[in-house]
Amino acid sequence: KAGVTQTPRYLIKTRGQQVTLSCSPISGHRSVSWYQQTPGQGLQFLFEYFSETQRNKGNFPGRFSGRQFSNSRSEMNVSTLELGDSALYLCASSLTVWGTEAFFGQGTRLTVV
Amino acid sequence: AQTVTQSQPEMSVQEAETVTLSCTYDTSENNYYLFWYKQPPSRQMILVIRQEAYKQQNATENRFSVNFQKAAKSFSLKISDSQLGDTAMYFCASESPIQGAQKLVFGQGTRLTINP
């Protein structure tokens, strides 16, 4: 079956702009999580959605937001981009039960200039 | 809150050798899962192995095995008969019902290079 698909793969934005990243989970997976990966901070949890509801949120400013649609596809949005938002953004999908395997996409590389 | 620490930023071994990656974690919970994920240059994270905290038996998956020491809060990964394809970043991670479903806490990672 198809894996987790993230689009776009690469993105270059200017400081102050906003950006929307998309994630299509594995068919049947209703949980979608987002992570930010940077060389300095490593992998940090952004938020998790299940059945269109945000169940959990990491310690990120309100400029970072997300949503999930009825087909489980998810988007995350970053407004008023800062240079420090440059990172690899990873999406993962999984079954609802905790402790199960998270399947990751290949990520979106965001560069803010 | 749970924390995960990987003290080896980089490791390098020859093909066919055995290598052990270290991971320690801190938690006050009794019920949690521990994971090792692999991130090759393609960037896609792949689950290597998973351990349930209440299971005393160490998990194994082919050439990959863990040494889970619950009292010491240690969770090391052993790769036997290492192969060139094992070259990747390896992340140790934890998950618990209190911190939230599908909220993984990752260590900083260990860059493993397998040399021919």
Contacts of A106 in chain B (CB under 8 A): 42-44
Q: Give the distance, in angstroms, between the CA of residue B90 and the centroid of all CA atoms in the same chain.
A: 7
| Residue range A3-50, pLDDT digits in tens | 999 999 999 999 999 999 999 999 999 999 999 999 989 999 999 999
pLDDT mean values, one per 10 residues, chain B (116 residues): 92 98 92 94 92 92 96 97 97 82 89 97
Instruction: Name the residue in chain B with its Cα closest to that of A49.
Output: B102
Q: CA dist A30 to A26, A36, A50, A74, A77, Å?
A: 9, 20, 6, 10, 20
Contacts of A94 in chain B (CB under 8 A): 102
CB A64 within 8 A of CB A57: no
CB contact under 8 A, A48 and B103: yes
Strand partners, A10: A109
Strand partners, B11: B112
Output the average pLDDT for chain A: 94
| Residue range A45-93, pLDDT digits in tens | 999 999 899 988 999 999 999 999 999 999 999 999 999 999 999 999 9
Instruction: Name the residue in chain A with its Cα closest to that of B104.
Output: A45
A66, A108, A63: which is closest to A86 by C-alpha? A108
Burial class from Cβ neighbours inside 10 Å (0-12, 13-18, 19+) for residue B7 reads exposed
Report cis status (omega within 30 of 0) of the bond before B97.
Answer: no
CB contact under 8 A, B47 and A102: yes
B107 at interface of A, judged by CB pairs closer than 8 A: yes
Contacts of A53 in chain B (CB under 8 A): none
CB B9 within 8 A of CB B78: no
The per-residue pLDDT for B66 is 97
A99 at interface of B, judged by CB pairs closer than 8 A: yes
DSSP H or E segment with residue A46: strand A42-50
Contacts of A35 in chain B (CB under 8 A): 104, 106
